[in-house]
Amino acid sequence: MKLLALITGGRNGSDLFLSLLDGHSQIMQFPGTFLFDDFYEQIKNEKNSNIIAQSFIRFEPFFFNSSKLYVEKHNMLGENKNEYFKVDKDLFIKNFTKIFDNLKGNKMHLLYSLHAAYTVASGKDITNKKVIVLNIHHIKRLRVLNSLDYDIIYMLRDPLANLSSAVKNWTSYEEGVHFGPGSLFFHIDRVINGISDTLKFNKKTFVIQLEKLHLNFDSVIKEFCNIYNLKFENSLNYSTFHGKKWWGDAIGKKFLNGINKNFKNNFDHNDYFKKDVCLLEECLKDQISYYNYSFRSKFKTKYNIFFTPLKFELLIWKKSMIKFRLKHILSIPIFWLYRINSMKKNSNSKLPRSLGESNLN
């Protein structure tokens, strides 16, 4: 059973990719992000399989009833956007205890038992499963897998479009209450250093570019299947969770319809000062060149512009002050310094190959 850790460098389509794998006869996965490191910390000393199973249900209640999962819009599945899914909790517990008690092993056995029990409780067969896809989402969460044999699938997107999408969507979602200076730094650092930080784990890593996933879908998904000896099944053409059509998350405020052959990044120059574009592209020049993205600046960077605030920083600082979010205001200096250091440490050597052979241009 091969383990694949799915992580993302921003709003780069990780949930879309997961939704395309939904229903594949050889893949086991949960219908969303599973923060395995947090869960493992809760149960690592627990030996009773029944207690572990119940802890998982409490940890991931929306995996068993998605009717209240508003942020991912799993309460609005199906053609008419009025469906949700339910998974039998008692059946999950019964199957987990049976499988886990027969293995009694390491983290991989725990992951297998959780996925297998969930798959069976969902009414699916586990006989032909070859791959577990674990949407662990964030790079830092890979640490919990250190002792395991796994590959990494890293979701990527045009870096400046990626950063714009993250800031615009999160600042508009619930009036930006979840997005402050710390969140902005997290997204900037992830865009700049995400790949190089991932490579430090020394695991086989493949990149899936959001643009290629849409525009060169057949090439990307067929290469993915070939690498892991998976059949190319019809279900891969549809974006679903538990077989019900998925329309994208609530953060983006749009209803998306799976693969879009006309996909185009929406880059707005007004999101950045000219010197911001210059600085970011200097930090990302290896990544932009290697993955065939566009350079938009015609200027060369100067050392001192590291210290001048980015346009997005000024925007977030202003919002924090207008809303008088005291914790956000007090954190401004520290995350500004973190951002400066983050931009100066970047090194993207030996970048991992992007799946799909067709050239985006």
Instruction: Spell out the domain ranges in the chain.
Output: 2-161+198-245
* Residues 3, 133: Cα–Cα separation, whole Å: 6
Q: Are 77 and 84 in contact (CB under 8 A)?
A: yes
pLDDT value, residue 349: 65
Beta-strand relationship, 27-29 and 2-8? unpaired
The token pair that represents 101 in the structure block: 């008690």
Distance from the first to the final alpha carbon of the chain:
37
Q: Are 311 and 276 in contact (CB under 8 A)?
A: yes
pLDDT value, residue 170: 75
pLDDT value, residue 346: 57
pLDDT in tens, 87-136: 999 999 999 999 999 887 789 999 999 999 999 999 999 999 999 999 99
Rg (alpha carbons) of the chain, rounded to whole number: 21
The token pair that represents 134 in the structure block: 């674990």
* Residues 155, 143: Cα–Cα separation, whole Å: 18
* Residues 132, 1: Cα–Cα separation, whole Å: 7
Q: Report, as ranges of residue numbers, the positions in the chain whose pLDDT lies below 50.
A: 359-361
pLDDT value, residue 306: 78
State the DSSP string of 223-234: HHHHHTT----G
Q: Quick one: 350 exposed, middle or buried, by C-beta within 10 A (0-12, 13-18, 19+)?
A: exposed
Tallying the residues shown for the chain, one arrives at 361
How many Cβ atoms from other residues are within 10 Å of residue 263's Cβ?
Answer: 15
The token pair that represents 256 in the structure block: 């998306």
Q: Which of 109, 85, 91, 27 is nearest to 53 (CA)?
A: 91
* Residues 321, 329: Cα–Cα separation, whole Å: 6
Q: How many CA atoms lie within 13 A of 39 on its CB side?
A: 21
Give the C-alpha distances (Å, rounded to integers) separating 215 from 15, 221, 322. 17, 11, 41
pLDDT in tens, 273-293: 999 999 999 889 999 999 999
pLDDT value, residue 345: 64
The one-letter amino acid at 360? L
Strand order in the sheet with 205-209: 27-29, 131-137, 2-8, 150-156, 205-209
